[in-house]
Chains A and B, each alone.
Chain A
Amino acid sequence: MNHLLRELGNWIDVRVGYSETLLPMLRHPIPRAADGPMGWWYVFGSASLTFLLIQILTGIGLSLVYVPAANEAYESLVYLDYEHPFGWFLRALHYYAGSGMVVMLLAHMTQVFLHGAYKYPRELTWMVGVVLLLCTLGMFFSGQILRWDPDAYWGLAVAGSMAGRVPVIGPWVVHALLGSEIIGAAALSRFFALHVFVIPGALLTFLVLHLWLVLRCGISAPPAADRPVDPATYEAEYHEELRQGVPFLGDAMLRDLFFSAAAVIVVVAIAAVVGPKGPTGPPDPTLGGANPRPEWPFLWLFALLALSPPAAETFIMLVFPVVVIGILFLVPVVSNRGHRAPSRRPVAVLAVIVIYTTLGALTYLGVTAPWSPEMRAWTSAAIPTDVVERSSPLELQGSLVFQYKNCRNCHALEGVGGRRGPDLTTVGTRLTRDQLIDQVSNGTPGGGNMPAYGKQMSPAEMTVLADFLVSLRPSGQPPAKVWSSSPTTRP
């Protein structure tokens, strides 16, 4: 039996020649220093690759059932969730392995950056890596659209308005992306094509290039503080290092395998315990109530959008991502020589800390700050009973207008309601009647966060609404006087 297999192997090898190509690749030497405990720094790249394999397998599984048609996508996901044996698990695994892939990619990039491994001669490897990151994020985004639930609509709306701002070709890009000027069935087909053909195609192509570059340039040794990179001498030094190197096929590969297996087990466990994500609701654009969120890798960008003044929106939507990607891309061009050890590159270390802290804080805000209005608050959040009890008939009428005009969707009373704007429980102590009327009539100047209601309200509505807002004070507190909104002049 063994003999037969070897015969078969030989037969193929003579024709394919893998013992001359593949085996040397696997056996390629790596620097000895990368084989010790330092070797654990090198496992993230292969873990990303493992997750990619899982994505391909689960993706094929999902595509056997999923129907990329607007009227059936939702139903087919529900079918997977509830009826197909382990369909729910397939969906969950596809989601969490995708998330794991993004995490591993970020870890991999961070390691490469901190160790200066992108310096000569591996600049191109890094740049291709940045493209791979973009492809992966593109997969994440287009995958979320395929869920075709309110989150998907939201993502499309933002993507559309982002693309629409591109000068000159904007409308064309929107049309190419959505298949029409509005979000509909055509968009789903486009994003399906992107998710299963276009982006994976690009991803795999660049991945082959990336791996080829890794093999060709070799794996960098862990940085040593006394050995800066000098392109003139690096080649010879590295060669010298490899002479005492060890083959990849061995402990290094085992380490990769072990870490990948551990990562997969974690992801499988999460998928089994947490279950599939969404679809959050039938794909009905008129459906309020949902509180759509972008997927987590994009939360920071959308939090940034929500927190920024409207004037900066175009910049953040359009210029900022390009700048960020550009900077990432150009990292090895800016510094491709010199020290690699983190101890000699305080600025690089500081940059990593600052970037991750900022991303973390923004993501946290994206999760907690409910910057999208709460669409149902106007009919479902009661006016607090203590407010009702102390109100005059006029003020009661004002509170009705407050609900009827959807103010409650953005403004909470006693903590209940939307949180897009400030809680108005005590606004009567902060703003005078005239200031209140001005705020309601004109909204946020420039038309950003709060709409202007001046033209949408009758004088009677404005009167009772102002009465109501003025009355929003803790009992015994006088109404605000002109400019008493600063704390020092408050009684």
Chain B
Amino acid sequence: MASRHTLNGFVLALGALLAVGCDWPGKPDPGTRQRAAEELTSFVPLYRQHCVGCHGADGQQGPAPPLNDPLFLAIVPDAELERVIRRGRRGTPMPAFGIEAGGELSDAQVTALAQGLKSHWKSDEKLDEPLPSYLPADGDDSTRQPGDRERGATLFAVACAGCHGENGRGGEGSDANNAIHEPAFLALISNQALRRIIITGRSDLGMPSFAGKDGRPDDFSTLTSPQIDDLVALLAHWRDEQGQLANPHTSNVP
């Protein structure tokens, strides 16, 4: 009877399968276990899971300030980097990621991210110019004074108006929607981020750095730290001048 042979075949096949049991495809791969049990502390997957949404896939070309920017990474203090990741920036869309601040990341993970940013994206090239400080002037630096918006306005006309329009109201032609004199925009960005944008520019979107000459008149000279304070003071003034956003719907409908 043929079916007896078939049955024998089945039994044999099953026995053979059992013999090589260790190689059954269904057996869970021990490699996958580590990942479940151990905490993730390597930069790339952490960055991909938590930061790509705002800072862009390669740390560039996202809506938030690019993190893959050698100039930024050269001037930002390590402690500040960790602080921002852990605590976020209040009033801006930068969330707090530290567990103690309501986020998901452990101390080790925050540190892995902060260090990973520098080890992955900081360039070894020596940046020769004197670099402005990342943090603004503060009390214990007696030689520096708080920014002055009058001086800032003069600087703006030279260093910024070419692209952002007179008084930051938007330029001409292709720069028409480049306005930054917008209370709603300024309300959601910190002075620190403004300062940083002025220093590093946005190389990914075509905005020059504090030393860049592209799109700027010939009499432009590299911005100094106090001058950047002045510019930030001007932008901060624009943020506040309309009070509580009298009419939120008048902004630029394209």
Is A479 a contact of B63 with CB atoms below 8 Å? Answer: no
Residues of B near A286 (CB, < 8 A) are: 104
Is A403 a contact of B188 with CB atoms below 8 Å? Answer: no
Residues of A near B82 (CB, < 8 A) are: none
* Interface residue SS majority, chain B: loop
Is A460 a contact of B184 with CB atoms below 8 Å? Answer: yes
Residues of B near A272 (CB, < 8 A) are: 17, 24-26
Is B25 a contact of A273 with CB atoms below 8 Å? Answer: yes
Number of A-B residue pairs at CB separation under 8 A: 153
Is B205 a contact of A78 with CB atoms below 8 Å? Answer: no
> B111-119, B137-145, B243-251: which one contacts chain A?
B243-251
Task: A167 to B95: give the CA distance in the assembly, Å.
Answer: 42
Residues of B near A404 (CB, < 8 A) are: 54, 93, 95
Residue of A nearest to B57 (CB): A382
Q: CB-defined interface of B210-254 with A at 8 Å, one 1/0 digit per residue?
A: 000000000000000000000000000000000011001101111
Q: Is A255 an interface residue (CB 8 A)?
A: no
Q: CB-defined interface of B132-175 with A at 8 Å, one 1/0 digit per residue?
A: 00000000000000000000000000000000000000000000
Residues of B near A437 (CB, < 8 A) are: 249
Q: Is A462 an interface residue (CB 8 A)?
A: yes
Is A397 a contact of B185 with CB atoms below 8 Å? Answer: yes
Smallest CB–CB gap between B50 and chain A, Å? Answer: 5
Please judge, given known A-B contacts A272-B17, A397-B63, whether A379 and B180 are in contact too, CB under 8 Å.
no
Is A400 a contact of B93 with CB atoms below 8 Å? Answer: yes
Residues of A near B253 (CB, < 8 A) are: 433, 467, 470, 479
Is B104 a contact of A288 with CB atoms below 8 Å? Answer: yes
Is B26 a contact of A388 with CB atoms below 8 Å? Answer: no
Smallest CB–CB gap between B212 and chain A, Å? Answer: 18
> B30-38, B72-80, B122-130: which one contacts chain A?
B30-38
Task: A403 to B51: give the CA distance in the assembly, Å.
Answer: 11
Residue of A nearest to B180 (CB): A393
Task: A464 to B187: give the CA distance in the assembly, Å.
Answer: 10
Is B53 a contact of A467 with CB atoms below 8 Å? Answer: no
Task: A389 to B56: give the CA distance in the assembly, Å.
Answer: 12
Task: A396 to B189: give the CA distance in the assembly, Å.
Answer: 11
Q: CB-defined interface of A281-294 with B at 8 Å, one 1/0 digit per residue?
A: 11000101100000
Residues of B near A385 (CB, < 8 A) are: 56-57, 61
Is A388 a contact of B62 with CB atoms below 8 Å? Answer: yes
Q: CB-defined interface of A82-93 with B at 8 Å, one 1/0 digit per residue?
A: 100010110010
Q: A272, A389, A393: which has the most chain B beta carbons within 10 Å?
A: A393
Q: Is A81 an interface residue (CB 8 A)?
A: yes
Residue of A nearest to B189 (CB): A397
Instruction: Say which residue of A265, A288, A389, A392 sits within 8 Å of B252 (CB atoms).
Output: A392
Smallest CB–CB gap between B66 and chain A, Å? Answer: 10
Please judge, given known A-B contacts A281-B36, A388-B205, whether A462 and B248 are in contact too, CB under 8 Å.
yes
Q: Is B64 an interface residue (CB 8 A)?
A: yes
Which bracket fits the contact residues of B? 35 or more
Instruction: Say which residue of B24, B51, B252 sits within 8 Å of A394 (CB atoms).
Output: B252
Which bracket fits the contact residues of A? 35 or more
Is B183 a contact of A394 with CB atoms below 8 Å? Answer: no
Is B187 a contact of A460 with CB atoms below 8 Å? Answer: yes
Q: CB-defined interface of B36-59 with A at 8 Å, one 1/0 digit per residue?
A: 110000000000111111101100
Q: Is B179 an interface residue (CB 8 A)?
A: yes
Q: Is B178 an interface residue (CB 8 A)?
A: yes
Residues of A near B37 (CB, < 8 A) are: 78
Q: Is A471 an interface residue (CB 8 A)?
A: yes
Q: Is B4 an interface residue (CB 8 A)?
A: no
Please judge, given known A-B contacts A380-B49, A400-B93, A463-B184, whether A394 and B179 are in contact too, CB under 8 Å.
yes
Shortest Cβ-Cβ A-B pairs, 9 listed: A275-B26, A404-B93, A460-B187, A392-B177, A463-B184, A400-B93, A396-B63, A459-B248, A460-B184
A binding-site residues for B, Cβ under 8 Å: 78, 81-82, 86, 88-89, 92, 265, 268, 271-276, 281-282, 286, 288-289, 376-383, 385, 388-389, 391-397, 399-401, 403-404, 408, 433, 437, 458-464, 466-467, 470-471, 479
B binding-site residues for A, Cβ under 8 Å: 10, 14, 17, 21, 24-28, 30, 33, 36-37, 48-54, 56-57, 61-64, 93, 95, 104, 177-180, 182-185, 187-189, 205, 244-245, 248-249, 251-254
Interchain residue pairs with CB less than 8 A apart (9): A82-B28, A86-B21, A265-B10, A377-B53, A378-B53, A380-B50, A383-B62, A393-B180, A471-B254
